Structure 1
């Protein structure tokens, strides 16, 4: 609750001055992750055996769209500024994994909606998958690759928080597997937000036509940690052992 209150307080103060953009959201999460007392996951990076025994289930989506149609003009300006075109249609070739920092589904939805920040999908603590935007619509959740990537937010305050909920973790595995099969996305294009923040050296598709100081990566003040290396190792291990196929659709 303290995290959510802090996020809302910071957001409200900034809203009075100017619209909030991805840079602001990035800075808030960076400050949270680097604050005193932040705990990184101490769990083993090896995929726990319990996930190997779970059966894949085709994901179902609970539609809960953000008011993205109201943002169309601003989004066209955003994509022109950072990516060089005004197109809002997405043909995904990458999936970016995130966690929210905000610990609740409702709080996350409110923050995204209020700040005109978007992702296509959100996985709740109980494993419910929410469609926040159509999958063929560009979002603004992964600065640098929004022109090519689907973004998935997992509701959790830290990596340890996320890894403590097996239903949520496995739901995210099934979701990624399904999307890989649906869009023919290779495992090499399943990336973490912290990997996107490393820029072109890790993600060649990274594009930023606006920032002349850091055109090829996030500024150091906006470096990311989510969703964490342990989660990504688990996800990649699961997908290697259970590669997607047309039967998953």
Structure 2
């Protein structure tokens, strides 16, 4: 079996190719208006003044959009300013919500913003958090196995690239209220979240247990 080592290499390459993911860049509108609103958000919410709306990633936050398609989810984030149907958070800032990544129901990964540009997706932690949105999340359109696999892959990709300490579901963000990473100035600015679901979060955490993320703070 002279060619046995070569066969092993070829099989390994095939497995690697099968597990490989592609990130598709599909940027939302980040014009001067959105840039200025993001800089103002950093200053007013967190007391951070800088020339560029960049972040130092220390956390990954998983979400769901509760919107049925990628197209409609993208459109919800694309405008730099908040739509009229979000009056609950508009008085805090006119900056529209968004996320660095979005995963479609079939597992396709889209990058909506550069990974180190701030997106408004989690109260108190946007200055250090990379967001991963997942299309769907309703009773009629639950998150899929394909999305689960893509989230696991994306978490590994980001952990390898940045010094990320925490992996959380959006519903867990208030656990950080007394943590040094928490910078929100307004004690009354909170929204109740359930995304991306406790079961989905458990599955992702189990799959990336070897990455040794830090335990979440306890209030």
What is the TM-score normalised by the length of structure 2? 0.74
Are residues 1:231 and 2:207 paired?
no
CA distance in 1, matches of 2:177, 2:39: 24
Contact 2:57 2:163 in 1 (8 A): no
Contact 1:58 1:178 in 2 (8 A): no
Contact 1:58 1:175 in 2 (8 A): no
Are residues 1:65 and 2:44 paired?
no
Q: CA deviation at 1:129?
A: 0.5
Q: CA deviation at 1:236?
A: 0.7
Contact 1:82 1:208 in 2 (8 A): yes
Higher normalized helix content (fraction of residues): 1
CA distance in 1, matches of 2:55, 2:19: 25
CA distance in 1, matches of 2:180, 2:203: 23
RMSD of the TM alignment (CA)? 2.3
Q: CA deviation at 1:76?
A: 1.1
What is the TM-score normalised by the length of structure 1? 0.66
Contact 1:197 1:223 in 2 (8 A): no
1:127 maps to which of 99, 107, 113 = 107
Contact 1:144 1:208 in 2 (8 A): yes
Structure 1 residue runs without a partner (length 5+): 1-53, 245-249
SS at match of 1:190: strand
Instruction: State how many pairs are aligned.
Output: 179
2:46 maps to which of 83, 86, 96 = 83
Partner of 2:171: 194
Partner of 2:155: 176
Structure 2 residue runs without a partner (length 5+): 1-14, 83-95, 213-219
Residue by residue, what CA displacement relative to the aligned partner does 1:158-187 show, whole Å, maximum 9, x if unpaired?
Answer: 378444x2111111111111111111324x
CA distance in 2, matches of 1:160, 1:180: 32
Contact 1:59 1:178 in 2 (8 A): no
Larger-gyration structure (1/2):
2
Q: CA deviation at 1:227?
A: 0.6
SS at match of 2:132: strand
Q: CA deviation at 1:223?
A: 1.1
CA distance in 1, matches of 2:208, 2:139: 19
